[in-house]
Amino acid sequence: MIKKSTFKRRDFLKLLGAGAAAGSSASPIFSQLSPLAFAGDDNSDKKILVVLELSGGNDGLNTLVPYGDDAYYRHRPTLGIKPNKLRKIDDHFGFNPDMSGMERLFKDGKMAVFHGCGYDQPSYSHFTSMAYWQTAAPNSGESLGWVGRLADALDPNVTANYLVNVDATQSLAVVAKNHVPVVFDDPKEFGRKGLFNSRPLLDKDRVATSNSSQAQRRLLELAKSARQASEKVRSACENYSTPIDYGIAPLDLNKIAALINADMNTRLYYTSFRRNAFDTHVQQPNLHQRLLTYFSDAVSGFFSDMERIGRADDVVMLVFSEFGRRVAENTNLGTDHGTANNMYLIGNSVNGGHYGDLPSLTALTDGNMQHTTDFRQVYATAISGWLGLESHEQVLRYRFKEFPVFS
């Protein structure tokens, strides 16, 4: 097993100067990277999990509309979407009008919908609730992310490029004890940057000499490893082209497709629809429909791309948001922070359909649905059912009942 570095961050900053970071995207690599963290790839296991976060608290009731329940329309006399406008998938539910991609994935049997997902003593704070979902440990103070812990459990040998986070900054979800995630946003900008007087130490042609201090040697090892990762990411993205339409906003799923196509050994990807986009307190209808169009088109395009490159059987996507919205519309043609919400698992290997008990739209607590499914049951289903880690309590701290999505 590769041990974590004992190289202190203060030594690193002393050598590079206060401004010597690799940009927001590369700082996790430089601050914690083990010297062999980006060694050669090993593709012995092809199964991949992609986690997509819909930040802001997506309105699940107007995403997958329960048009068969009259209470929905009583609570939402203005925001309620009429049945004749929906993309109906059965006699109770229909997707938002512009979600043709999600409709197709469900009708093709490639989407599992989990109803009433949440947790006890819910928080209505974006920051707090997102932290609970990202750590899979509500009200606990957990400092490691569930995807990071999953990487540690699945790969104790700390394989290269095992965990990738596509975002401007590292998510709490991918914080691990042993693994260091590759974090990037723009592949062209993903690389090392430093102050002018520190750049000679980071030059790609520099090697340690007999006169190099231990700290300098370590820095050069870190720079080489980070450079190899950034070059691999840039090369994969620059050399990738596809005729598939991901829609107006690909949600970084096209970047993930490029890395999968490059046959990197990454098994865990984490990305998000950023900037609390789904926080629709005011004038929700047009905004929310536009966001859902972007989301649906990007997800549908991604799986079409996976089919095109022959990797569709290897990939499953998990989609979540930190909470849902209140059942009733507010006075600003919007919805406020709520509790229970839908989650989704999508992929060729998924046994599509509905899972979990439907939360009541009439037996409410402070205007909110009572959750019927612990969200960690869906995590456990992905961890054990898809990725094959039977003892998911290694990651989730507790044993949860799984759904028969992959049986």
pLDDT in tens, 307-319: 999 999 999 999 9
> What's residue 206's pLDDT?
62
- The answer to whether position 4 is within a domain reads no
Q: Which domain holds residue 372?
A: 9-396
The fraction of the chain above a pLDDT of 90, given in percent, is 76
The predicted-structure confidence for 307-352, as pLDDT tens digits, reads as follows 999 999 999 999 999 999 999 999 999 999 999 999 999 999 999 9
| Rounded (to 5) percent helix, strand, coil in the chain | 35, 15, 50
> What's residue 2's pLDDT?
29
- The answer to whether position 224 is within a domain reads yes
Task: Report the CATH number that the domain containing residue 139 is assigned in CATH.
Answer: 3.40.720
> What's residue 12's pLDDT?
34
Residue 111: partners with Cβ closer than 8 Å, 6 or more residues away:
102, 105, 344, 345, 346, 350, 352
Q: Is the confidence at residue 222, as pLDDT, over 60? A: no
- The answer to whether position 287 is within a domain reads yes
The fraction of the chain above a pLDDT of 70, given in percent, is 82
Any idea which of 16-25, 53-62, 292-301, 317-326 has the lowest mean pLDDT?
A: 16-25
> What's residue 332's pLDDT?
98
Q: Which of 19-33, 55-69, 210-224 has the highest mean pLDDT?
A: 55-69
Q: How far is CA 23 from the centre of its chain?
A: 21
Confidence class of residue 31 from pLDDT cuts 50, 70 and 90? very low
Average pLDDT, stretch 248-255? Answer: 97
**CB neighbours (10 Å) of residue 314?**
17
Confidence class of residue 205 from pLDDT cuts 50, 70 and 90? low
- The answer to whether position 406 is within a domain reads no
pLDDT, averaged across the chain: 87
> What's residue 201's pLDDT?
52
Average pLDDT, stretch 101-114? Answer: 98
Q: Is the confidence at residue 295, as pLDDT, over 70? A: yes
- The answer to whether position 401 is within a domain reads no
User: 374 forms bridges with which residues in the sheet?
Assistant: 118
The domain tally of the chain equals: 1
> Which pTM value belongs to this model?
0.85
Any idea which of 77-81, 225-229, 285-289, 361-365 has the lowest mean pLDDT?
A: 225-229
Any idea which of 174-178, 192-196, 298-302 has the lowest mean pLDDT?
A: 192-196
Residues 50/318, Cβ–Cβ less than 8 Å: yes
Q: Is the confidence at residue 236, as pLDDT, over 50? A: yes
Q: Is the confidence at residue 3, as pLDDT, over 60? A: no
Any idea which of 49-63, 175-189, 235-249, 336-350 has the lowest mean pLDDT?
A: 175-189
Structure tokens at 195: 């102050």
Residues 92/351, Cβ–Cβ less than 8 Å: no
- The answer to whether position 147 is within a domain reads yes
Average pLDDT, stretch 45-70? Answer: 97
Average pLDDT, stretch 364-386? Answer: 98
- By residue count, the chain amounts to 407
> What's residue 208's pLDDT?
63
> What's residue 36's pLDDT?
37
Q: Is the confidence at residue 195, as pLDDT, over 60? A: no
> What's residue 225's pLDDT?
60
Residues 56/278, Cβ–Cβ less than 8 Å: yes
Residues 63/342, Cβ–Cβ less than 8 Å: yes
Cα–Cα distance measured from residue 357 to residue 13, given in angstroms and rounded to the nearest whole number: 53
DSSP letter string, 229-281: HHHHHHHHHHT--------S--TTHHHHHHHHHTT----EEEEEE-TTTT---
- The answer to whether position 300 is within a domain reads yes
- 105 burial (CB, 10 Å; 0-12 / 13-18 / 19+) is buried
- The answer to whether position 403 is within a domain reads no
DSSP 3-state of 54: strand
Residues 252/184, Cβ–Cβ less than 8 Å: no
